[in-house]
Structure 1
Amino acid sequence: MKIITWNCNGAFRKKYDFLNNFDWDIAVIQECENPAENKEFQKTLERCDSLKYFQWIGKNKNKGLAVFSRSFSIEIDKRFSKVSSEFCNYGDSSHELRYFLPLKINGFIIIGCWCHTGDDYIFRYIGQLWKYLLLNSELIDSNTIFVGDFNANKIWDYEHAWWSFSTVNKMLNQKGLYSYYHLATKDDFGKEKQPTFFLHRDKEKSYHIDYVYGNPDFLKEITILKIPKNDKQELSDHVPIYCELNMQN
């Protein structure tokens, strides 16, 4: 299975051709408009078989989280919709966790991620994933894959309490899930040589905040790609991550 994740910085309908450069099976796209509610995107879907299967979530129809599959049917795993009164009204529409898309794909669970600010300033970004892991702990095992924009790095641990990036990394490790980039490069967390995000497209403000976490036995190859361009214009402030996995049910 070949997976690509990319925060496209909006208007994916105008950028999807970039994905044709890769032999992908699953594409996890952050800041993607809702394909079902965009007329231009509907025309794209009609002529592009590789975007045939998809799921999308979001509050803003112009900017949410989408997962596309060109090879396998995909189904939302509704077991992951659990709520709990432990967390400041989690389950109320004004405090929902954003954005996580748990999917059944070819016998595996792939959770697309775009860790958002949500409506809770304290538990923003990595705090959203921390909550998600606690709420769904019993459903997560070494056959689960987390893919996407975590909006987090160890360098910002000081901004948080027990829900820091390092805490979340440890929680995932305890489930047998590890960052494929770090497995492949041996880089230390917080000292990554290859950034995935450029704040305001400034090369001097670069950070590693996008990840693929999974069973180490699945990993065949992972690549942090260059900033994609179209007509010499940068398409996004994020670079895609592409990985090839050996997965058998």
Structure 2
Amino acid sequence: MKIVSYNINKCTQKKVDFLLSLDADVYVVPEIANNITLPDEYTMEYLGAISSKGLGIIWKKGDLNIPDWFKDDYKALSYAIPLICDDILILGFWPTNYKKNKTYTKLAKEIIDKYTPHFSKYAQCIITGDFNLYHKENAPNKAADILEIDKMLTENGFHSVYHKNANEKIGYESRNTFYMHFKKDNPFFLDYTYSKLTVKNYYFIENPQEKFSDHIGQVIEI
């Protein structure tokens, strides 16, 4: 199964079409709009306070499904969407403080706390997306620090795929996934994939053109 996780920044149909050209089974897309056009073989679940900028999870119709326990109390979280297939749980993840008086860290904790009972029910769990969280030793930011979230996920049997594969510590990454205002001198590592099991392949997608997105994409093969 191939998963693409990509915050595409200011959604357009052209950007969505580029994602679809990658021929993935699942797409986790922060900042997508809910009025995009999809081929007949795909469908999408959308969460967002506004129609032009939310979290979407797109998948090929077939064995993948939104679980029946994904009710209003889960949809009220900002934002996470689950997708299941047999013994696999994929959680699209985008903690976002749109009109909410909460830190990114608090929003992420709420999501993880809510989903923790489900993590033990599936042999493989993937959590992927734009976490809006990072760690910089020389510029700490408690409102958006990944360390507490990493600890919670590690205690649930997860590991950060990038950091395990690259043998790097959080906060000491050799590369970045986000450039604020598209400026190379203002980088952050915000986009993560956490997995319970070892994945077959993991790599980044560089933007296909200038200012396509201020993030870069992730590809996960399980």
Q: CA deviation at 1:199?
A: 0.2
CA contact (8 A) 2:125 2:197 kept: no
RMSD: 2.5
Which structure dedicates a bigger proportion of its chain to helix? 1
Specify the alignment match of 1:159 in structure 2: 141
User: Residue 237 in 1 paired to residue 214 in 2?
Assistant: yes
State which structure, 1 or 2, has the greater radius of gyration over its C-alpha atoms: 1
Amino acid at match of 1:128: L
The one of 12, 34, 54 equivalent to 1:64 is 54
CA contact (8 A) 2:119 2:156 kept: yes
**Cα distance change on mapping 1:107 and 1:10 into 2, 3 Å:** farther
Tell me the TM-score normalised to structure 1 length.
0.78
Specify the alignment match of 1:3 in structure 2: 3
Stretches of 4+ moved more than 6 A in 1? none
**Residue-by-residue CA offset, 1:93-140 (whole Å, 9 max, x unaligned):** 9xx42111122235421111111014443x322221111222332222
User: Residue 133 in 1 paired to residue 112 in 2?
Assistant: yes
Residue 200 of structure 2: SS of its match in structure 1? strand
User: Residue 223 in 1 paired to residue 197 in 2?
Assistant: no
Specify the alignment match of 2:84 in structure 1: 104
Q: Output the CA distance in 2 between the equivalents of 1:3 and 1:111.
A: 11
Residue 7 of structure 1: SS of its match in structure 2? coil
CA contact (8 A) 2:25 2:59 kept: yes
Name stretches of at least 5 consecutive residues in structure 1 with no aligned partner.
Answer: 84-90
Q: Output the CA distance in 1 between the equivalents of 2:89 and 2:191.
A: 19
Q: Output the CA distance in 1 between the equivalents of 2:190 and 2:130.
A: 6
Q: CA deviation at 1:12?
A: 3.7
CA contact (8 A) 1:55 1:74 kept: no
Q: Output the CA distance in 1 between the equivalents of 2:70 and 2:17.
A: 32
Amino acid at match of 2:127: F
Amino acid at match of 1:58: G
CA contact (8 A) 1:228 1:236 kept: no
Tell me the TM-score normalised to structure 2 length.
0.87
Q: Output the CA distance in 1 between the equivalents of 2:21 and 2:114.
A: 37
Q: Output the CA distance in 1 between the equivalents of 2:165 and 2:13.
A: 32
Aligned length, in residue pairs: 219
